[in-house]
């Protein structure tokens, strides 16, 4: 899936909220480690920081208790404004949106147009529970000298973006997500690391099979 702010869905809406919130108070924005590269780019442009959290909604809310957090999102349509309450609140989000639009004088169309155009691709690979740890070890060994982030799974930074390999908390699966400036590179990274997960599964559990892509 290539995401470039084309539709004001969960990702696009969060990007708009981030711009509005940071224009009012440039500090911290929180979101799941799987969130698009666009968020860190927006935060940097506005002299702020995008801080990744673990992917689960509960983890996002726990992290949102940091005093400098302006807004946090689970990346799926849930928004938390810690100055009001550490919970996802759709009604307050609507009120805050209207308040910030009035304060900045900006329009949703203009804010959407400022969202950086990045590629965000993902796949899901079957992985037996007993093999999940081996996948993590393989990733760490492969990138022992590289720049990585271990907030959730292993995120490997590459030129122009990153690729994330993270185990699903509830299912025998791994999520492989890449967000870069180049859609071709994102697709290549997803395929490369999906193949890595498959190779470990085949080595450790030859009977395991099945791939679901998103």
**Which domains does the chain show, CATH number per domain?**
10-113 (3.40.120.10), 119-213 (3.30.310.50)
- Spell out the per-residue pLDDT of the chain, length 214, in tens: 333 333 344 567 888 888 988 988 888 999 999 999 999 999 999 999 999 999 999 999 999 998 899 999 998 889 999 999 999 999 999 999 899 999 888 888 888 888 888 999 999 999 999 999 999 999 999 999 999 999 999 999 999 999 999 999 999 999 999 999 999 999 999 999 999 999 999 998 655 454 454 4
Would you give the distance in Å from CA 33 to the centre of its chain?
Answer: 4
User: Residue 76 contacts by C-beta under 8 Å, 6 or more apart in sequence?
Assistant: 10, 57
The answer to whether residues 57 and 78 touch, using CB atoms and an 8 Å cutoff, is yes
What is the b/e burial string over 137-150, where b = at least 16 CB atoms within 10 angstroms of the residue's CB? Answer: ebbeeeeeeeebee
Kindly state the tokens that stand for 14: 């969060």
What strand order describes the sheet that includes 49-53? 49-53, 28-32, 69-73, 79-81, 85-88
Single pTM value for the model: 0.84
Torsion, Cα of 4, 7, 8, 13 (10° steps)? -20
H helices then E strands: how many in the chain?
A: 7, 11
User: Residue 115 contacts by C-beta under 8 Å, 6 or more apart in sequence?
Assistant: 4, 5, 12, 15, 16, 38, 42
């Amino acid at each position: 899936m290539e995401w470039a702010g084309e539709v004001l869905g969960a990702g696009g809406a969060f990007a708009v909220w981030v711009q509005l919130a940071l224009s009012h108070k440039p500090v911290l924005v929180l979101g799941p480690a799987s969130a698009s590269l666009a968020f860190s780019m927006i935060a940097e442009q506005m002299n702020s920081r995008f801080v990744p959290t673990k992917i689960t909604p509960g983890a996002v809310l726990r992290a949102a208790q940091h005093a400098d957090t302006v807004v946090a999102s689970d990346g799926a349509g849930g928004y938390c404004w810690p100055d009001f309450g550490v919970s996802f609140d759709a009604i307050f989000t609507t009120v805050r949106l209207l308040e910030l639009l009035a304060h900045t004088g900006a329009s949703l169309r203009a804010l959407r147009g400022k969202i950086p155009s990045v590629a965000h691709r993902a796949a899901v690979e079957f992985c037996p529970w007993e093999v999940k740890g081996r996948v993590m070890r393989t990733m760490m060994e492969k990138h022992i000298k590289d720049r990585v982030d271990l907030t959730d799974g292993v995120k490997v930074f590459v030129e122009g973006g990153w690729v994330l390999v993270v185990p699903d908390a509830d299912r025998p699966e791994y999520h492989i997500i890449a967000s870069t400036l180049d859609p071709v590179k994102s697709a290549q990274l997803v395929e490369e690391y999906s193949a890595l997960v498959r190779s470990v599964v085949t080595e450790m559990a030859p009977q395991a099979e099945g791939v679901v892509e998103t």
